[in-house]
Structure 1
Amino acid sequence: MRSKGNWRWWFVGVLVPCAIWAQVKPEQTGQVEKLPSPHPRWVFATDLVLERTSVVDVEQSRFLGVVPAGYGTFLPLFSRRRPEIYVPSTYYSRRTRGERTDVVEIYSTESLGFLTEIPIPPKRALNRIALNHAALSDDERFVAVFNWTTGTSLSIVDVERRQFVAEIDTPGCSLAYAAGPRRFFSLCPDGSAFVVELDDEGRERQRRRTAPFFNPRSDPVTEKAVRAGAIWYFVSFEGVVHPVDVSGEELRFLPTWSLVDEQDRQQSWRTGGAQHLAAHARLGLLFALMHQGGPDTHKEAGTEVWVFDVREHKRLRRIPLRFPGATIYGFAIEPDASWRWPLPWLWQRALDHWIPPLVKSITVTQDAQPLLITACEFAGALGVYDARSGEFLRRVQPIGWMTDLLFAPYESSQ
């Protein structure tokens, strides 16, 4: 028996070949420009196929440029005090084999050009999702890069002095979360946090392990936490929020609360995707990418974004999602003069109603009127929503071949 959704894919199969007829206008080459100061509505989108991070002005729907990266997954880090972007990267002398070199590359936010690189031990973790595989200290002096061989450790890099400082073992504990000007922590398999404090030279001053703050057997947290101000928000597979306050001398584990109520559980609502959380620090909002599915569906794409007040632990609204946009080989599939009626109308209907949202990643701009940005891993396109009302505003495409992670790192001055 055919599923009810098969006819939707039939329309897409007919329309996509027709769209390839569209003419692509040639770009004017030879122009070199410098970017203005970073804007809150600049979104950075990583592309694992093209091995780069695309820089997009989602307010103007304008593609600004790219920041290159190396082999495998990567996580750019953004300085607010210096016009710099830090990218832990891996290179092999024979592309996918040969001698391995790991570095922290530094790029300019003004030109997106390469500035310098700092060699680090060739051990950095190359996992499918790079979230929290590196962290920038709160004073923006040190970068911690998570290493994973048969053991785990952090490579500490002084980005002010442009030098590798030390490798610090984190026995059995993984990832890197910034927790102050000289402090990082990692997650441990028993539900505790492994905390490392650095001295002013970036070497280990103190280490300690906290008591467990979640139960890894009954309901573990995912590693895809998001930070708002001094609080990290970890969410468990069953939707329980575990806030971790890093403002004091010791990590403080705040009371837990839930994203879902009993009715939501009965309807099998849960978080999922590659990057299922976003937060707005000033407004005190947490955004969660949700879908309906059973246990172990935490990698499924989301169909809605739920918005929560983190102070009241209350859901404010549900935002139904649309497909972010379709691209092929880096070109947008969208109507132009070569499309004949009713193809434009049918294609718009397909994008807005017939194709599932397939959203895997979300982020939120940090301005007074924030935008919610969504992405599908199979397309180089962004969906743009009013984060407060949930209104769908536009699609921005093309931005690349595929979209992995999203970042809106710059805050508004107002």
Structure 2
Amino acid sequence: MRRTNLFSLLISVAMALLIMLAGPAALAANTSLPPLPIEEMGRVEQLPASYPEDWVIVDESSFFNMFGGKIIILDIAEKTHAKRMKGMMSKSMLGNFTQSKKRGEFYIIESFNERGARGKKFDVLVIYDKQTLNIKKEIIWPTDRLQSLPERYSMAVSKDEKLLYVSNFNPAASFTVVNLDTQEIVETIGTPGCVLTYPAGERSVVSICSNGGLLSTVLDKKGKLKSRQRMDSFFDTDKTPVYEWPIFVAGKGYFPSFHGEMHVIDFSGDVVKYIEKWSLVTEQERAENWRPGGMALTDRDDEGHLYIIMHPDGHEGSQTHGGPQVWVFDVEKQKRLRIIEVPNWAVSLAVTRGKNPKLVITNGELNLDIFNAKNGNFIQTVSDFNNVTPLLIHKSY
């Protein structure tokens, strides 16, 4: 019985070998079979030096899996799902992002631990080429960077795009200056009680302070500390708090308050100056408790018009909840131009560049609703692009 089984096994192996050896010759002789299609291999392509106006950059914090954060380049006008995503970069542990308009670079500062989720923590600033998405430089960070939900001004580029400013918090507040030509750290400058990096003047960094004021840090041509000057408090941090999300139009910074006032600051010089405040809401709207709300709740179009998420029945704690409407203002005239209804709720917003801007809404389901920013008409919903918590959208350049 054992010999029979062994013999059968040997016959089976021999037949298989004969078939394998004869197969290619037999197939080659059969000219009636159609040729196999040419298999397309992977391709490496470059993105354009100047991104189209309808492309946006999604700051995906991946809040429930912070090692999986991403920066996603997305065409929000594209109707075909497979063609929307143009590129992606990693952004570990609530990394921070900003971009240059002229240098063709992206900047991401992120955090890692030596053994994955444990071990010594270290931060790295990564400089990317915006066309290839290749890494140009990695800089090991000398201190603990600011680690928070995405902020537009956790990093900023100087007006001449020679310097990069990066916020730190360890828990002492500071910012680090990077020379973008040499790709080297210049100096870390303390900002006691003040955080974030709003660019002002030629080479000045402004930070918002815990007492309701602003700190102007003036730098010399090399990016080193030249002088500091504090501006008096312009809001009460307990009674009339403001959002740290200013919008800049014609050298002025516009800071909305939780209760619907707009504070205007002159950012044109090296040292900021307070100008005035005015109300976003009418007396009737104030009685109905219409207030701003959301995460990244403001942006502007190329005409300098401000877009802001608003909600009725506002109360203590509702400032982060978002809202069902977006109000559009001419900030120079202090006049509301239109109201855009947002059926799926708005958590964050962004406005694209150009003469025909799109309003991009992070909705209540954490997908993106796209509207015509000028007339408020709904265009489409964009989803399934690795979006988990897309709480901040950047316009592209």
Q: Normalized against structure 1, the TM-score is what?
A: 0.80
Which residue pairs with 1:308 in the alignment? 329
**In 1, are the aligned partners of 2:56 and 2:394 still within 8 Å (CA)?**
yes
Report the residue type matching 2:107 in the other structure: Y
Q: Distance in 1 between matches of 2:296 and 2:175?
A: 23
Note the 1:68-79 alignment, pairs <5 A: 68-71=90-93, 73-79=94-100
1:54 to 57, 72, 76: 72
Task: Give distance in 2, aligned partners of 1:390 and 1:44.
Answer: 22
- How far the C-alpha of 1:278 sits from its partner, in A, is 0.7
- In structure 1, what is the equivalent of residue 271 of structure 2? 250
Query: 1:24-59 deviations in whole A, cap 9, x for unaligned?
Result: xxxx87232111231222101111223111101122
Q: Which of residues 292, 296, 299 in structure 2 aligns to 1:275?
A: 296
Change in Cα spacing, 1:48 to 1:29, as seen in structure 2 (3 Å) is: farther
Matched, 1:94 2:107: no
Structure 2 residue 85 is the aligned partner of structure 1 residue 63: yes
The alignment partner of 2:285 has SS state of helix
318, 338, 356: which one pairs with 1:369? Answer: 356
Runs of 4+ displaced beyond 6 Å: none
Gaps of 5+ in 2: 1-39, 63-67
Identify the residue that residue 35 of structure 1 maps to in structure 2.
47
Contact 1:38 1:109 in 2 (8 A): no
Structure-1 residue corresponding to 2:252: 231
Match of 1:284 in 2: 304
Distance apart, 1:303 and its partner CA: 1.0
1:149-199: CA deviation from partner (whole Å, max 9, x where unpaired) = 231111111122101111111111111111133110111122211111111
Give the Cα separation in 1 of the matches to 2:135 and 2:178.
18
Among 354, 366, 369, the residue aligned to 1:383: 369
Query: Structure 2: which amino acid aligns with 1:375?
Result: T
- Structure 1's 409 and 256: CA in aligned 2 closer, same or farther, altered over 3 A? farther
Distance 1:263 1:362, change over 3 A: same
Partners of 1:153 and 1:368 in 2: CA distance: 38
Letter of the structure 1 residue corresponding to residue 307 of structure 2: F
SS at match of 2:319: coil
In 1: Cα distance, 2:149 partner to 2:41 partner: 35
Amino acid at match of 2:61: L
- Check if 1:177 corresponds to 2:198: yes
Alpha-carbon distance in structure 1 between the residues aligned to 2:54 and 2:251 = 22
Q: Distance in 2 between matches of 1:187 and 1:197?
A: 15
Q: Deviations over 1:74-96 (max 9, x none)?
A: 33211111111111211211223
Q: Work out whether residues 204 and 270 of structure 2, in 8 Å CA contact, stay in contact via their aligned partners in 1.
A: no
What is aligned with 1:352? none
CA contact (8 A) 2:218 2:271 kept: no
Contact 2:69 2:91 in 1 (8 A): yes
1:322–1:383 contact (8 Å) kept in structure 2: no
Contact 1:83/1:110, CA 8 A, preserved across alignment: yes
What value does the CA root-mean-square deviation take over the aligned residues?
Answer: 1.8
CA distance in 1, matches of 2:216, 2:190: 11
Task: Quote the residue 2:17 is aligned against.
Answer: none
Structure 1 residues 295-352: Cα deviation after superposition (integer angstroms, max 9, x where no partner): 22111022110111111111111111133xxxxxxxxxxxxxxxxxxxxxxxxxxxxx
> In proportion to residue count, which structure has more strand?
2
Greater Cα radius of gyration, structure 1 or 2: 2
How far apart are 1:100 and its partner, in Å?
1.8
Of stretches 29-38 and 289-298 in structure 1, the one that deviates more from structure 2 is 29-38
Following superposition, the deviation at residue 397 of structure 1 comes to 2.6
Select the structure with the greater relative contact order (CA < 8 A; seq sep ≥ 6): 1
TM-score by length of 2: 0.83
User: Which residue is 1:212 aligned to?
Assistant: 233
Mapped contact 1:124–1:148 kept (Cα < 8 A): yes
Residue 305 of structure 2 aligns with an amino acid whose one-letter code is L
SS in 2 for 1:139: coil
Distance 2:61 2:225 in 1: 33
Secondary structure of residue in 2 paired with 1:248 = coil
* Structure 1 unaligned spans of 5+: 1-27, 324-356
- 1:110 Cα offset (Å): 0.7
Count, aligned residues: 346
Which letter maps to 1:174?
V
3-state SS of the aligned residue for 1:298? helix
